[in-house]
Structure 1
């Protein structure tokens, strides 16, 4: 094969078709709409032609489409284990459609909804299982520019090209530093690979998608090409935060009645821990948490305040009860009040203590850009990295925060919320 002549885009292997949206919709209609409709007709002859069953079939089709859309949106983010998002995706979509039927008082067949939901779940569990086995990716790397990090990653199936030749095998991906000077022959080669229908990734884009981190070189680097994240979603998100915080106020009261006395018995000091932190647009606020450490007076010097604000691994200041509260994230419950007051969100970059924020801002480029969104009780950095305090670790954490700001959306918030539940169960990242 001429090194600049490429084959047409290869056909996916049989199970690779599971990746196709069209195949997923077609399979879903057969399994989650037509099959339940047919079962309803067999149980009750003539039911398939009734308005009740017809309306239910339309509802099942709508729930299926919404579920597929949500499921595929989850798959956009790195670190997502697709199996874990099948049930949440379709529970959400079927709950939406069922709520519409309920509030509009539309007639429906409960059996069809149940069978349709089970069919959707079963089908997409199979999609996850077989598509993962049939879509292994091999990265062919153009050997110029910033590619050293690719050499250091041992978890990728990769080949560094020595000449402009591309084999055209299924699921092959070309990777190049598109800012590097490749020379005319390599530039023509990259263009031909793209024209033939193969994915061509910029090295920075690939690193972002694999690691879920963004290293900002210019402040314009977000999805909208401006300094501000999605303003429309920011307003919607604030409304959702208010509604959720108001609904969770009883949880704050109940936890205070139970946890408060335990804290008082475990060590002397107040029940609540208050600390000034830097939040939205750089404004300071007092964060609320259940106290998990032995009470100590405020240090006098700046250096001592910085060290006191850091929580170290196996920190001796953490009480026995505090370890349990931190591991389960129960100590964060009072921050629901911060959310209600507009100082925080449920999802966002974690706010840092004022001395730490000032220390990091002096030493880390663009650190204050993380304050462009409200800080959160949980966030993208927390579920991927856990609690950190040292400068090199905070630099990495900042890249996770920038990824969140760049991809600021309801879908990423849903991913974080679901993974936060797993984090609470495992205690990942607590100190």
Structure 2
């Protein structure tokens, strides 16, 4: 790591576009007020049109909520900041739309849809400007495993003494599990009280590299490893409900895809493979076949190698490449979801041979 001279602590800083007030004012003007007037022109008057007024006010509320929650995600260093914008804004505008319907307010679909789309684009533009202009500096508290942050693509400097950095973009990072001196402990407490972000080194490392550092199983606040069974039951009900809603709508497209697979190359329409499912139990996954049939006699090592399908694997058919790219090949797995083998959202069910190998190589893989 680099040792920061005292004079260096006053340089750098956060872009003005990181300011919550600047983001809100910019996005409100450019994302919710201006677009309807430009799009509709003289056909609308904000003074005597309650539908237009309600829609603009609802858009502003959704926009401010979207910015607030997007900023809560983006506070973590190295997070792919733009990736959180779209789902956050969809949630905020969706929640506001539900409130409008529940209270039967007059509103305009056109204004809400236009403002939601433009708001996302404007906020992404603001965040791009902020990211480009930012000079976030991470000040490292010496001790513990803090040296693991070296060469992860961030500006990391050692704090020369237990005093707060003085510039606006300062972020302190420390190994919070290490035995730190009392002066450094006081510094961390003071930083938290002063509003200076303090991160555990693992948060910074994982956010910057995209790699999760698994060292031990973390107990909950009660000192136990307890699964949330209420959540698991609710999740299971959601899985079943979504299958029952989508299956009638997708039955015809699925039959068309099955016919195309049969015409594309000789072999069965569906591909079945033993995989590791819920709670580590093996099951037979069901997918559309995307590869040519090959009769191979393989040992365990060969099976593991075959399970690792490459992006340009020569066994993939032309139709199969499209089905893989669009994830259409996975739609028959709705049957597996209905049977409780897997979930819509969850860990990837790996091939059994690959799963056994991962169990041997990766701690806590199960």
Moved more, 144-153 or 245-254: 245-254
Query: Which residue, 276, 292, 306 being the options, matches 1:294?
Result: 292
Moved more, 136-145 or 157-166: 157-166
- TM-aligned CA distance change 1:70 to 1:216, over 3 Å: same
- TM-aligned CA distance change 1:79 to 1:345, over 3 Å: farther
Deviation at 1:201, TM superposition (A): 2.0
Deviation at 1:44, TM superposition (A): 6.2
1:410 match: none
1:339-358 equivalent positions in 2, closer than 5 A: 339-358=337-356
Q: Give me the whole-angstrom Cα distance separating, in 1, the residues matched to 2:76 and 2:296.
A: 41
Does structure 1 conserve the Cα–Cα contact (< 8 Å) formed by 2:14 and 2:136? no
- TM-aligned CA distance change 1:211 to 1:221, over 3 Å: farther
Query: Which residue, 266, 273, 276 being the options, matches 2:274?
Result: 276
Q: Give me the whole-angstrom Cα distance separating, in 1, the residues matched to 2:358 and 2:82.
A: 38
TM-score by length of 1: 0.66
- TM-aligned CA distance change 1:128 to 1:231, over 3 Å: farther
| Per-residue CA distance 1:302-323 (angstroms, 9 max, x = gap) | 4454444343565454445434
Q: Give me the whole-angstrom Cα distance separating, in 2, the residues matched to 1:44 and 1:266.
A: 54
Q: Give me the whole-angstrom Cα distance separating, in 1, the residues matched to 2:63 and 2:116.
A: 8
- TM-aligned CA distance change 1:137 to 1:271, over 3 Å: same
Consecutive unaligned residues of structure 1, counting only runs of 5 or more, are: 369-431
Deviation at 1:139, TM superposition (A): 1.3
Does structure 2 conserve the Cα–Cα contact (< 8 Å) formed by 1:263 and 1:291? yes
Does structure 2 conserve the Cα–Cα contact (< 8 Å) formed by 1:273 and 1:290? yes
Does structure 2 conserve the Cα–Cα contact (< 8 Å) formed by 1:248 and 1:336? no
1:32-431 equivalent positions in 2, closer than 5 A: 48=47, 52=51, 55-56=54-55, 58-72=57-71, 75=74, 81-83=80-82, 85-102=84-101, 105-109=104-108, 113=112, 116-117=115-116, 120-121=119-120, 123-153=122-152, 155-164=153-162, 167-220=165-218, 226-228=224-226, 233-249=231-247, 252-296=250-294, 299=297, 301-312=299-310, 314-368=312-366
Does structure 2 conserve the Cα–Cα contact (< 8 Å) formed by 1:38 and 1:48? no
| Per-residue CA distance 1:260-284 (angstroms, 9 max, x = gap) | 3443344432111111211111222
1:15 match: 16
CA RMSD of the aligned region, Å?
4.3
Does structure 2 conserve the Cα–Cα contact (< 8 Å) formed by 1:274 and 1:287? yes
Number of aligned residue pairs: 358
Consecutive unaligned residues of structure 2, counting only runs of 5 or more, are: none
